[in-house]
Amino acid sequence: MWSFGRQLLVGSLAVWSAAAELSFSAQSVHADGEVRVLSNTDFNPVPPRQRWQHNAHRHNATWKETRDLVSYSGSWCGASQHSTRAEKIVNAYGSFTTPNLKLRKGLPAPQYAAAWVGIDGAECKQALLQAGVTTVVNSNGGQSSWAWWQWFPEASYEISTKSLPIKAGDWVSVNVTAQTDTEGLLTVTNLSKGFRVDIEINRGPRLCRIDSEWLIEQFYENEGPQVSLGQFDDIWFMDATSTTERGKNIGVDGAAMVYLQNDKEEVVCKAERYDDSTFYVYGP
């Protein structure tokens, strides 16, 4: 599956990763079997952010229904699961709908929401391997979406919509694998058409492989402020599972349900577990 030429991207992308030596190669696969090796023109690098996006200082853990922990975040909403260093996570998988947005009254346009699956970034703060989709809604109410991946704290890469067409409300699946602390495989699939992009990454920033997340995010723009969160339709996460090195499957039972609070500490997004592999996020 990974027999395509990896030399294509390495040189051209070094501009964003000169210090760390992260390199990657990628292919797109059509439902009809056509495989295309992707080049740097299929990715738009966004320089790494200068600070950690997930401000954990609002964490306030309380036990709900004696099972799911609720914690509060200034930028995340969804489920955050945890394993131990003795039982490292190798895979996080989930399918979900691409955010479908309306303009939220009283906030400036454009407005955004990102949805993603990742390994680390919660208890393990040094790195986060993630892939997902972002939707933007403009002042005229029109919206567009795209897929991306990032191995934080390295740059993120937007995947061109030519390589992976995405539209708000469509189902995507994201498969994040970390075979070692520094090697990753990502797959983002358009489930509507069986169209997918595979990315193989080497020499990423060292992971702990102790967290897995399925989240929507009110992210920070590059070196800028936090974006406005659009008003989103409920987003269901299905088949949410992670797998450990020993082959154990962990769902969202016992995961922290992360609620997003705004600057006034009002909750603007909640996550509600449905079963061990299914939950949804919703907000006003």
Residues with catalytic function: 217
Q: Give me the least distance between CB of 198 and ligand NAG, in Å please.
A: 8
Full DSSP string of 180-194: SSS-EEEEEEETTTT
- Residues of this chain that interact with ligand NAG (CB under 6 A) are 60, 62, 91, 93, 98, 165-167, 170, 172, 175, 177, 185, 190, 192-193, 195
Q: Regarding beta strands 43-46 and 235-244, do their DSSP bridges make them parallel or antiparallel, or are they unpaired?
A: unpaired
* CB neighbourhood size of 135 (10 A): 23
Full DSSP string of 204-267: PSPP---EEEEEEE-PBPTTSPBPEEPEE--EEEEEEEEEETT--EE-STTPEEEEEE-TT--E
C-alpha dist (Å) from residue 194 to 53, 81, 188, 200, 265: 32, 28, 10, 19, 40
- Specify whether the CB–CB gap between 252 and 214 falls below 8 A: yes
* CB neighbourhood size of 264 (10 A): 6
Q: Give me the least distance between CB of 224 and ligand NAG, in Å please.
A: 27
Closer Cβ to ligand NAG, 13 or 147, answer by number: 147
Closer Cβ to ligand NAG, 80 or 175, answer by number: 175
Bridge partners (DSSP) listed for residue 128: 152
Q: Give me the least distance between CB of 177 and ligand NAG, in Å please.
A: 4
Closer Cβ to ligand NAG, 6 or 167, answer by number: 167
Closer Cβ to ligand NAG, 17 or 131, answer by number: 131
Rounded to the nearest 10 degrees, how much is the dihedral formed by the CA atoms of 140, 108, 170, 95? Answer: 180
d(CA 167, CA 193): 12
**Distance, C-alpha 73 to centroid of its chain:** 16
Indicate the helix (H) or strand (E) that contains 10. helix 7-13
Closer Cβ to ligand NAG, 185 or 268, answer by number: 185
